[in-house]
């Protein structure tokens, strides 16, 4: 596995890839030791460039080959999340209805929380049915920053 750390407005991110596919983006907490344990790659440099452009308001869509592994249900949720336009939000209920499982709101929330590729698969755009910010791997403050960034540049 190849890894690369990237400093962003929402903290340190660890990008993990193998071959030609990005496997995950991890938020490195303040309590973790942030170090690269592997080697970077051309793919990771490409991903880092795209994320840097995103944070600068110069990119709304990503063109990265993703290799998210999960159940068929999780993958359907992640695909629906990828369809949320830049600068917009959808509720967990909206996603559940969109994938044809209108009663699966909690399961959609669970699948969203297991998204291995936050930001690129923009689970920060999924909010509570009342518009409230709910769980996010990087924390609610990071979620608010990402939504504000998209509102500002969108």
Percent of the chain past pLDDT 70, that is, above it, reads: 92
Condensed to tens digits (0 to 9), the pLDDT of residues 9-53 reads: 999 999 999 888 999 999 997 555 555 555 668 999 999 999 999
Catalytic residues: 123
Per-residue confidence band for 62, with pLDDT thresholds at 50, 70 and 90 = very high
Per-residue confidence band for 68, with pLDDT thresholds at 50, 70 and 90 = confident
Over residues 136-141, the mean pLDDT reads 90
Domain boundaries, the chain: 2-55, 72-153
Return the pLDDT at 135.
85
pLDDT at 154 over 80: no
Return the pLDDT at 124.
97
pLDDT at 91 over 70: yes
Per-residue confidence band for 1, with pLDDT thresholds at 50, 70 and 90 = confident
57 vs 41, which has greater pLDDT? Answer: 57
Q: What is the mean pLDDT of the chain?
A: 91
**72-153 has which CATH code?**
1.10.10.10
Is the pTM above the cut of 0.75? yes
Return the pLDDT at 37.
55
Return the pLDDT at 69.
87
Report DSSP letters for the chain, one per residue: -EEEEEEETTEEEEEEEETTEEEEEEE--TTS-----SB--HHHHHHHHHHHHHHTT--SS----B-----HHHHHHHHHHHTSPTT--EEHHHHHHHTT-TT-HHHHHHHHHT-SSBTTB-GGGEE-TTS-----TT-HHHHHHHHHHHHHH-
């Amino acid at each position: 596995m190849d890894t690369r750390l990237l400093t962003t407005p929402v903290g340190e991110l660890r990008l993990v890839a193998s071959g030609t596919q990005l496997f995950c983006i991890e938020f490195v907490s303040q309590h973790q030791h942030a170090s690269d344990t592997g080697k970077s790659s051309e793919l990771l440099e490409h991903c880092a460039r795209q994320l840097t452009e995103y944070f600068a308001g110069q990119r709304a869509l990503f063109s990265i080959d993703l290799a998210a592994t999960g159940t068929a249900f999780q993958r359907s949720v992640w695909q629906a999340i990828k369809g949320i336009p830049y600068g917009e939000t959808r509720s967990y209920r909206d996603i559940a209805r969109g994938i044809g499982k209108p009663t699966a709101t909690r399961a959609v929330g669970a699948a969203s929380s297991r998204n291995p590729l936050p930001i690129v698969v923009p689970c920060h755009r999924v909010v509570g049915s009342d518009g409230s910010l709910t769980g996010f791997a990087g924390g609610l403050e990071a979620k608010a920053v990402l939504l504000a960034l998209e509102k500002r540049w969108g």
